[in-house]
Amino acid sequence: MKTTPLGARWLGSPNFTAGRDGHRMDVQPAWVVLHTMVGTVESANARFQQPGQQASATYGVGLDGRIVQWVSEDDAPWANGNTGTGGVGDNLDSIAIEHEDGGDFNGPRTPELYAASAALVRDICQRYGIPIDRQHVIGHRECTGNAPTACPDSLDMDRIVRVAVTGAPEGDDMDPTLAAKLDEMLNVLGSGGDNREPNPWIVATLNAILAGVQSVSGIKSELDAIKAEIEAGGSVDAASILARIEKALQTA
């Protein structure tokens, strides 16, 4: 299977371990390992097409935000310097993402690259149940059993993880804790339950959200209205609450 999420363009590479030698990404330990290309998508692709290089990655993210794929997620890329000996970031237990840097590995990356990388990391982690944190989303230099490296150099890994946690565009006024709380509430409301009577849990959750959403006026006003209706015991069902909050989030 050639999984290409988020519109990734399939390029392929002959350099991989088929079937991960029986390892699975949905079984811990598993990692997403971040790299920098020290070049362009095109130069990385030229290298990964050569069997003699014995190198590849699962994905590549361009400075323009495009995503390419060299190795199926079902197979192990040859990226992290460690295949089958165990340890942090073993290729058999990892998905590797290369990041374009135009040859300036310590230079700035673009907002488009960071947004695409964060979306890809979030998608991968959610599908395999990998925690989105810096213990599981790591840099090449944090892998064990490989030659010393500074890779991914100045790539801001914390920024990628931070945005991947919330799934929200950078500049959103919600912090990760607040966004997680909202996600939790939306999951409950979206389960099909009917909240036609006052629900103390929902009221408490809305209060917690409202305490942090002071600058997102569109969301705050809608949450204020929903909270008032629930407290009054009005006929407010879960589906309508979910639709109203999602609409407010889209227009915020």
**Mean per-residue pLDDT over the chain, rounded:** 83
**Do both 134 and 212 map to the same domain?**
no
**Do both 142 and 210 map to the same domain?**
no
In a domain, 202, yes or no: yes
pLDDT of residue 192: 47
Rounded Cα distance, 103 and 232, in Å: 61
- Counting the structural domains of the chain, the total is 2
* pLDDT tens track, the chain, 252 positions: 454 668 899 999 999 999 999 999 999 999 999 999 999 999 999 999 999 999 999 999 999 999 999 999 999 999 999 999 989 999 999 999 999 999 999 999 999 999 999 999 999 999 999 999 999 999 999 999 878 899 999 999 999 999 999 887 776 555 556 666 666 665 555 444 555 455 556 656 665 565 555 445 556 677 777 777 776 766 666 667 767 776 766 655
Distances in Å between the Cα of 139 and the Cα atoms of 21, 66, 118, 238 are 23, 20, 14, 41
**Do both 99 and 25 map to the same domain?**
yes
CATH number at residue 121: 3.40.80.10
Query: Hey, how many other C-beta atoms are within 10 angstroms of the C-beta on 236?
Result: 22
In a domain, 44, yes or no: yes
End-to-end CA distance of the chain, in Å? 38
pLDDT of residue 147: 81
Q: Which of 166, 186, 208 delimits the end of a domain?
A: 166
Rounded Cα distance, 79 and 89, in Å: 9
Query: Hey, how many other C-beta atoms are within 10 angstroms of the C-beta on 128?
Result: 17
Rounded Cα distance, 128 and 209, in Å: 28
**Do both 192 and 121 map to the same domain?**
no
**Do both 152 and 200 map to the same domain?**
no
120-157 confidence digits (pLDDT tens): 999 999 999 999 999 999 999 999 987 889 999 999 99
Q: Which of 118, 145, 166 delimits the end of a domain?
A: 166
pLDDT of residue 169: 76
pLDDT of residue 200: 59
Distances in Å between the Cα of 77 and the Cα atoms of 18, 33, 54, 145 are 9, 11, 10, 16
Bridge-based pairing state of the strands 137-139 and 76-77: unpaired
Domain enclosing residue 20, as ranges: 5-166
Determine the 3-state secondary structure of 36 from DSSP. strand
Smallest CA-to-CA distance from 90 within 101, 81, 102 is with 81
pLDDT of residue 235: 62
pTM of full prediction above 0.75: no
